[in-house]
Structure 1
Amino acid sequence: MQTPTEATAPAAPSPSSSPGPDRGRWPSVLTSGWLPAGLLWLVTVATLWFFEVPPATTAVFTLYLAAGIALPGTLWWRLLHRGGGFFVADVAAGLALGYVGEVFVYIGARLLGLPLLVLAWPIGTVAVFLLVPSLRRYWRTAADAPVPPLLWRWALTLIAGMTLLWSFKFYRQYGLRYPYNSTPDTDSTFHLALLGEAKHHMPMVIPWITDEPLYYHWFVYPEMAASSWVTGIEPQVLLLRLSVLPMLMAFAVLVAVLARKVTGGWWSGVAASVLTLFALSPTPYNWVAWDFFVNLAFSSLEDGSSLRLTVWTGPTQTFGALLMVPLMIVLVDRLRAPARQWRDPRGWILFTLLLCGVMGAKAIYLPLLFCGLLLVVAVELVFHRTLHRGALIGLGITFGGLVFAQLVLFGGTSQGTELKPFTALVAGALAGTTGYRDKLVLGVLLIFCWVCIWGGLAGLVRRRLPEPAVVAMIGVGVAGAAATLLTGQSGDSQRFFVEGGRPYLAVAAIVGLHALLPAGRMTVRRAGALIGFVVLGMAITQVVIRAGRTDVPTVHSTGSEAALTRAVVLPYAALAAAAVVVAVALLLARRRLPALRGMTVALVVALLAGFAINTTFQNYYQVLWDSNHAGWKNVVNAKGEVIVSKGVLEAGRWLRDHSDPDDLVATNAHCQLWNKECSDLHFSMTAYSERRMLVEGWGFTTTAHVEAERLGMWVGSIPYWRPEILADNDAAFSRPSPQTVGILRDRYGVRWLFVDESQNNVSPQLSTFATERYRSGVVVVYELPSA
């Protein structure tokens, strides 16, 4: 495959040719696209080594990622896309397409009971593209591919590196061994349990309770399961260290590729990636939010951040976000294609393949895409009095995917999502910390925050009508924002809607900023001015923060609701006032400074973006401060409850190695402490044993969401809806006898008992009726005698 350096050459030299006298070895290395990528990889290896992943493990993972996923995906991308893309764009999109191929091949291989048959994906692809003469040209970058500027390469490498630095926040708190894995959160054990299920079973079911179907966006688990089978890497290491990183980095690159494709400017790609990842709701307060929001890096008001901790604790969202971007890249071509190309099957085949991957990766994306395409159809019909055939074809394919996903993958369920307007406002960090609940005021503040992030959309009014691709992105983004504001979900997952639409609002905002520049051109001087106003916005925000109160305002501390309103609103009002002052000053100064003419609105947009980017600066500062004061790794949350008991990891792996994947296990551990109350979100036994349980926890299931909605309760605190099974299960531990133990064995088919002795419901007589096979920490594994 051609390297980035080779792709930049105007003509391919002969193998025997040598560099001319003006092209020495070192200048070639310094301008090579491999240099920033290589440095990033070395830093990544060192970082992972620091967080207890040996370099050999990272090397094996990298080899599989490159040869087993990215290589076949890149070859198929080049064949089907026909876009003449440059090397980095092809590989990033190829990685996403490679994931889709890997997932579908693994599902088939796992159904056949031959998980390593997933290697047919890369081996078969390589064979086809080597043996078929007409396909061999796709091993090389297209001769007419654009050449990314060196500065663009380094900028994207830096952005990818910033995602690695952000991952420190996760790595330092989510250890790989006891006690450092004991106090993270229930999400990690939830995902690890489903990863174990995907490793051993297909079709998948909910493994922590019996007879509960899996209606969920589960495609990320077969991906990690395939990686585990091929590389031999522990699922825990993939989930908590390795698998998410390339998804994050490729996502950052692909957003830049998408923006560059729409605008034609290299600078716009860097700007769109920065806006997507680093422009968050301004947080002009000097007080500290509740620990829950700080730990997860939630901003004061909902912004759909692509870099809060949920990108790690919710890998389904990260996987779906990655797959959605190349789908939108393909859609741009489909919406731009002239009439004679609408019937081109390769583009629509690629669109359909990616859509199938997105369909099972995250449930939110197809509804958002449907809304975006529907807006294109409506706009074209109203303003041009025509039906846009490309949008209609895409709409039809998307509708088919929606119907299939809803009926087959999600079983026609809503997963606890319902119409609950403004839930995101009252459940956010600002309201949750201060107790302030005025939805009108919070809504106004939220709109101000969104204007700061996506203020560049104002530039679109200068265009007669945005092209259909931009209209689709606006539709996706607005639908995501509206869905977050209008719905609620028992697990608070309505936040993912605006997160899903965020990259496309960012790209549309950069298109608007492009329109705000004189003649649509970015120069060094203009770039410097825009960056300067971003820095000015950050400085103003810091001044407002320093001038504010340090204690958390509440009705009690301020004395009245009106005083609390002032404490909440005034910092944002100060930012808005500063923006108005700067705008007026620019209007007055442009008469004397010709360089400002035509730049006033663009500079105000940059100022507002500075307000938003300051929040990211605060988040990174918080990570570095916490690491410096509380430790850079293996941090145990002293305020958190124990999620994984001592010995669960070792006992779980022993059971995995000494039992059949179809063996059923019973456990006495059901209660997971959450804010010192018993919660049903207990998944660690299933997670580390990779075995199905009769009943461990029962939260985060379809039935649990239905019950939570029916009872008006949080999904983590509902009673089990099959009390007879729970009673039979617990009787064997608290009142062991031939009858109670026999019921588990004969009625339910239980073969093993996984006992947490730190729970208070275990009788010392249990060993009389079951054979102890393994003990570690507070955990004991028993085998039940045959009948």
Structure 2
Amino acid sequence: MTAVSVPGVDPASRLRIVGPRLVPWLLALVAVTVAMAQTGVPALDLLRYGAYLVLGLALPGTLVLRSLVRQRRSLVEDAALGTVVGCVLELVSLVAATLLGVQHWLRVWPAAVIVVFAAVPRLRRHWRRLPGETTSALPRLWHWGVATASAVSAVGVVRLLGGYRLPPSDGSYYQDLLWHLGIVRSIERSIPPEIPQVSGELLRYHWFSHAQMAAGHLVSGAPDATIIMRLWPAAFTVLAILAAATLARELSGVWWTGPVAAWIIAVAGVAQILPVTAYVNALSLLSFSQTYVVAIALAAATLTARALRGERLGAGWVAVAGMLVLASGSKPTAVPMLVAGAAAVIVIGLLLDRSWIRPALVLLGIGAVILPVSSRLVSGSDSGSRISLFDFMEWVPLYHQLTGASFRPATGPILPEGVSDLSTRSVEVLALVLVTQFVPLAAVLASAVAFRHRSVRSDPAAWFMLGIIGSGLTVYLVLSHPALSQLYFLSLAVAFFGPVLAWGMAATVERVPGRPAVRAAVVVAGVAIGWSTAVLALHAAPVVPAGQEHSLEAWTRSILVPIGVVVAVVLVLGLVVLVLRRTGRLPAHVGVALLVTAAVLGAPMAASGPVVLDRLQTFVRQDPLLPGGGLPLPRGGGAALDWLQTNTPEDAVVATNRHCATGVQRAGCASLAFYVSGLGGRQVVLEGWGYTSLTGGLQVATRWPERLADNDALFTDPTAAGFARLRDEFGLGWLVADTSAGPVSPRITKFATPRFHAGTVTVYEIDSRAGR
């Protein structure tokens, strides 16, 4: 059951077709607009940013995509992929404009693309459907399914981040938000960007998602803080959902897999049937680079799947290459995983069909060129990784409860120290913890039954998907990182679960004989079975008694009982299906379709359903937003830093005595102060160094002790020579002094003039002749 292809129609008929399909998207837009208003986003900022997304990204990107790729899909699917192409073009334009010092003219590039495609006769055809051309008309239910998933997810993101008040205001901020904001504002000044908190040091981090936010500010004019804390996360969450729906239909050829994949990505996730929850979400709401790379990787995989299946991509490989470049600087996970998928196709192609090998080699070659360059320029992280089996267990509380081991990520032996002796108990603990982490992924195994069909086994796109997912799971198991960054390989693999699970579901459900209503009834029954089984399993799990939190036996019972319930239900269902099949009362393929639907949709919805309903209720009732947790600003800091951002030159360099996240400056504190570089938006001589490369931790001594001493002396023992030294080396022009971070000498006024004061924070402008 594929989407219907229809020829070109007259405008009136097109309106009758398109109009009803716009309704769910308009309702979704209204919902997101209301959520934005509830969290303090001005209507003008929302309007400006919305216009930028449509006219500055989606439209020019879609036109360019259509000029590169011959075969079109529906308008919304083309727009999803085209928006990613627009991001590629925007990054190139931003780099060029910044190197030329004209980044504030960035809005010219989308206008130029639109004008060229309107003026050049050969390019005008990409605006419209050509006479005689057919296109895939997606049913109304596709739009309702994907639009509602997008709205629920976007509203959830907005309300989550809405707990952090928009500047200028005092309050608490999750430190990563201010860190991201500092990077965005650094990119607005220069490329390659400097570390905002350490003047003169290049940022060795995957910053392309930040570049996208910076470009959005430069083009739309919406405040960059509003973009980061409200607009961008919602918009690119929706883009990731659209990309998942697009890939699902590309893989399956069945329209309804789009909404299924959209809901899996948006809220359903995977089945949580155990008393110990595991983190396996595709989208990390506070990791913007993860959200960004999901959309990019799914879009690149969509075009690659077309090529693997024999469609001549031609110039479309340029779009794929651009997407891989964009992905490489967004998160260092996507390109290796896509390359692994291509490698899997090559290996299987040697055995089954050598025609698969050529497009796989093209992707492999693109990745081989990109990876060495990106690893040196834009894929750096804050600390190194190493090979260590199951190191993710260091972040699982159950592991520490059962072993009593200390928290030592990425520092222990080949196995975590609590199970490294491989005693009988250690092996049991290891197995139990692995069960808790991977039982939620059982739906993948259930959908894998689709591979028993030759049509799937002989499809190179299937092996491509398996290579991607398998590589992500493998890296998660064998890589260690001090900040659990190996989790992002698993998260990206889970992002591909949505389209793959939907495809596996279609491969079974579509084989059920009869009318579409019969297959719909099978899906409803499967969802009901999966939901009720998951609820039964959760309630059947014995509660670990107080005082037995460290008992392996108690936890084993609590975990194995719900698994036993699921196994029992599957066996009973299988027996009933077998009996009914032998008596001729049940059509073929129904049993497998029920099992897959129960695992893919039903069981995950048991855990996510109440969460979604709670989100909707709090949104509709306009319940007060929960305050965002994080680190508090110094008293008066919001106003002082807003004054700094508004009244100083963009290239101003600032010194501050605030390095610790809270309290006075002291050894061993969490050096996560990103206030001046983030909210103040200015380059800092030395602020918090906890996230800088090679620091090795959040509570360690700085790598710049001499600079720290010179910097802090300006506040405690100011001298003409001290000011001259930092002015000559870094171009220092301003001070942000916070008395809650330590004593501030009144002698500062001999060298600097107070310009603004609020609470414990004073902004000084250094006198032009200070130290001369």
Structure 2 residue identity aligned to 1:58: L
Match of 1:617 among 597, 609, 613: 609
Corresponding position: 1:241 with 2:230 = yes
Specify which of 119, 127, 140 is matched with residue 131 of structure 1. 119
Shift of 1:450: 1.0
Q: How far 1:548 sits from its partner (Å)?
A: 4.8
C-alpha separation in 1, matches of 2:678 and 2:687:
11
After superposition, the Cα gap between the structure-2 partners of 1:118 and 1:448, relative to the gap in structure 1 and judged at 3 Å, is: same
Judged with a 3 Å threshold, the aligned counterparts in structure 2 of structure 1 residues 468 and 439 are, in CA distance, closer, same or farther, namely same
Contact 1:76 1:94 in 2 (8 A): yes
Q: In 1, distance between residues paired with 2:82 and 2:729?
A: 49
Task: Say if 2:322 is the partner of 1:353.
Answer: yes
Structure 1 residue 581 corresponds to structure 2 residue 558: no
Task: Give the match for residue 543 of structure 1.
Answer: 536
Find the residue that maps to 1:174 and give its secondary structure: coil
Q: Is structure 2 residue 337 aligned with structure 1 residue 368?
A: yes
Work out which of the residue numbers 699, 703, 709 in structure 2 matches 1:717.
Answer: 699
Give the TM-score, by structure 2 length: 0.88
3-state SS in 2 of match to 1:782: strand
In structure 2, distance between residues paired with 1:490 and 1:668: 28
Paired residue for 2:145, among 126, 149, 155?
Answer: 155
Identify the match of residue 175 of structure 2 among 167, 172, 186: 186
Q: 1:12 aligns with which of 9, 25, 50?
A: 9
Write the distance in 1 (CA, Å) between the matches of 2:135 and 2:218: 37
Classify 1:30/1:517 alpha carbon distance in 2 versus 1 (closer, same or farther; 3 Å).
closer
Where does structure 1 lack aligned partners over 5 or more consecutive residues?
1-6, 287-298, 709-714
The number of residue pairs the alignment matches comes to 736
Paired residues of 1:463 and 1:515 also in contact (CA < 8 A): no
- Residue in 2 aligned with 1:316? 289
Q: Pairwise mapping of residues 308-347 of structure 1 onto structure 2 (< 5 A)?
A: 310-311=284-285, 313-337=286-310, 341=312, 345-347=314-316
Equivalent positions of 1:366-445 (< 5 A) are: 366-384=335-353, 388-410=357-379, 415-428=383-396, 431=399, 438-445=429-436
Return the offset for 1:170. Answer: 1.6
Matched residue type, 2:522: A
Residue 362 of structure 1 aligns with an amino acid whose one-letter code is K
Instruction: Supply the distance in 1 between the matched residues of 2:21 and 2:147 (Cα, whole angstroms).
Output: 10
Give deviations 1:507-559, integer Å, cap 9, x for gaps. 23333333323637782222232233223322333334345567x768x4446
Distance 2:54 2:400 in 1: 44
Answer whether contact 1:174 1:634 (CA < 8 A) is retained.
Answer: no
Residue 168 of structure 1 deviates from its aligned partner by 4.4
Q: 1:11 to 1:175 in 2, by over 3 A?
A: same
Amino acid at match of 1:503: A
The one-letter amino acid paired with 2:529 is L
The question of whether the paired residues in 2 share the 8 Å contact of 1:250 and 1:322 is answered with: yes
Q: Which residue of 1 aligns with 2:473?
A: 481
Per-residue CA deviations over 1:172-219 (Å, capped at 9, x if unaligned) read: 32221466x733421111111101101112221211013432121111
The CA deviation string for residues 762-781 of structure 1, in whole angstroms up to 9 with x for no partner, is: 34554454321111233211
Query: Relative to structure 1, is the Cα distance of residues 285 and 255 closer, same or farther in structure 2, using a 3 angstrom cutoff?
Result: closer
State how far apart, in whole Å, the 2-side matches of 1:559 and 1:235 are.
Answer: 48
CA distance in 1, matches of 2:754, 2:24: 55
Per-residue deviation, residues 441-492 of structure 1 (Å, max 9, x unmatched): 1113333221135521222133272411221111111111111121122222
Tell me: CA distance 1:641–1:137, structure 2 relative to 1, closer, same or farther (3 Å): closer
Q: Deviations over 1:284-303 (max 9, x none)?
A: 466xxxxxxxxxxxx82242
Instruction: Tell me: CA distance 1:734–1:568, structure 2 relative to 1, closer, same or farther (3 Å).
Output: farther
- CA displacement, residues 120-143 of structure 1 (integer Å, 9 cap, x when unaligned): 321211121112111111101453
Give the Cα separation in 1 of the matches to 2:557 and 2:228: 44
Deviation (angstroms), 1:716: 1.5
1:235 Cα deviation from its structure 2 partner: 0.7
The one-letter amino acid of 1:507's match is P
2-side partners of 1:500 and 1:516: how far apart?
A: 25
What is the alpha-carbon distance in structure 1 between the residues aligned to residue 446 and residue 172 of structure 2? 40
Maintained 8 Å contact 1:271/1:510? yes
CA change 1:618–1:593 in 2 (3 A) is farther
| Secondary structure, counterpart of 1:192 in structure 2 | helix
Among 194, 199, 202, the alignment partner of 1:213 is 202
Alignment partners' CA distance in 1, 2:680 and 2:402: 42
Question: Which residue number corresponds to residue 598 of structure 1?
Answer: 589
Q: Which residue of 1 aligns with 2:683?
A: 692
**Deviation larger for 50-59 or 593-602:** 593-602
Of residues 87, 94, 105 in structure 2, which corresponds to 1:106?
A: 94
Question: Is residue 668–residue 761 contact of structure 1 (8 Å, CA) maintained in 2?
Answer: no
Alignment match of 1:57 (pick from 37, 45, 53): 45
AA of the residue aligned to 1:474: L
Q: State how far apart, in whole Å, the 2-side matches of 1:129 and 1:625 are.
A: 46
Alpha-carbon distance change, 553 to 244 in structure 1, aligned in 2, over 3 angstroms:
farther
* Equivalent residue for 2:74, pick from 72, 75, 86: 86
Q: Distance in 2 between matches of 1:608 and 1:540?
A: 10
CA contact (8 A) 1:732 1:744 kept: no
- How much does 1:758 deviate? 2.0
Q: 2:384 and 2:271 mapped to 1: Cα distance?
A: 30
Counterparts of 2:184 and 2:564, CA distance in 1:
47
Query: Aligned residue for 1:301?
Result: 278
Partner residue in 2 for 1:116: 104
1:504 paired residue number: 496
Verify the 8 A CA contact 1:773 1:783 in the aligned structure 2: yes
Aligned counterparts of 1:585 and 1:47: Cα–Cα separation in 2:
47
Taking structure 1 as reference, are residues 456 and 692 closer, same or farther at Cα in structure 2, changes over 3 Å only? same
* Farther-moved stretch of structure 1 (359-368 vs 748-757): 748-757
Asked whether the equivalents of residues 457 and 508 of structure 1 are also in contact (C-alpha less than 8 Å), the reply is no
- Could you list the runs of 5+ residues in structure 2 that have no partner in the other structure? 405-417, 419-428
SS at match of 1:210: coil
Secondary structure (helix, strand or coil) at the match of 1:781 reads strand
584-593 or 644-653: bigger deviation: 584-593
Q: 2:298 is matched by which residue type in structure 1?
A: V
Alpha-carbon contact 2:217-2:223 (below 8 Å) kept: yes
In the alignment, the residues of structure 2 paired with residue 636 and residue 504 of structure 1 have an alpha-carbon distance, to the nearest angstrom, of 33
CA spacing shift, 1:762–1:623, aligned 2, 3 Å = farther
Match of 2:422 in 1: none
Counterpart of 1:329, as a letter, is T
Q: What is the DSSP-based 3-state SS (H/G/I as helix, E as strand, rest coil) of the residue aligned with 2:153?
A: helix
Q: Is the 8 A contact 2:691 2:698 kept in 1?
A: yes
Q: For residue 700 of structure 1, report the CA deviation from its aligned partner.
A: 2.0
| Code of the aligned partner of 1:147 | A
Kept in 1, the 8 Å contact 2:345–2:356? The answer is no
Equivalent residues of 2:184, 2:211 under 8 A apart: yes
1:514 maps onto 2:506 in alignment: yes
Decide whether the 8 Å contact of 2:181 with 2:224 is kept in 1.
yes
Aligned partners of 2:672 and 2:698 also within 8 Å: yes
Mapped contact 1:356–1:401 kept (Cα < 8 A): yes
- Write the distance in 1 (CA, Å) between the matches of 2:48 and 2:299: 26
8 A Cα contact 1:426 1:432, kept in partner: yes
Task: Give identity over the alignment, percent.
Answer: 26
> Residue 562 of structure 1: CA displacement?
2.5
2:654–2:733: 8 Å Cα contact kept in structure 1?
Answer: yes
Q: 1:421 to 1:595 in 2, by over 3 A?
A: same
CA–CA distance in structure 2, aligned partners of residues 241 and 300 of structure 1: 28
**Cα distance 1:505–1:695, how it changes in 2: closer, same or farther (>3 A)?**
same
Q: What amino acid is the match of 1:728?
A: D
Task: Find out whether 1:36 has 2:24 as its counterpart.
Answer: yes
The answer to which of 611-620 and 81-90 deviates more is: 611-620
Q: Distance in 2 between matches of 1:86 and 1:401?
A: 31
Deviations 1:30-65 (A, max 9, x none): 953222222222222222111111222211111111
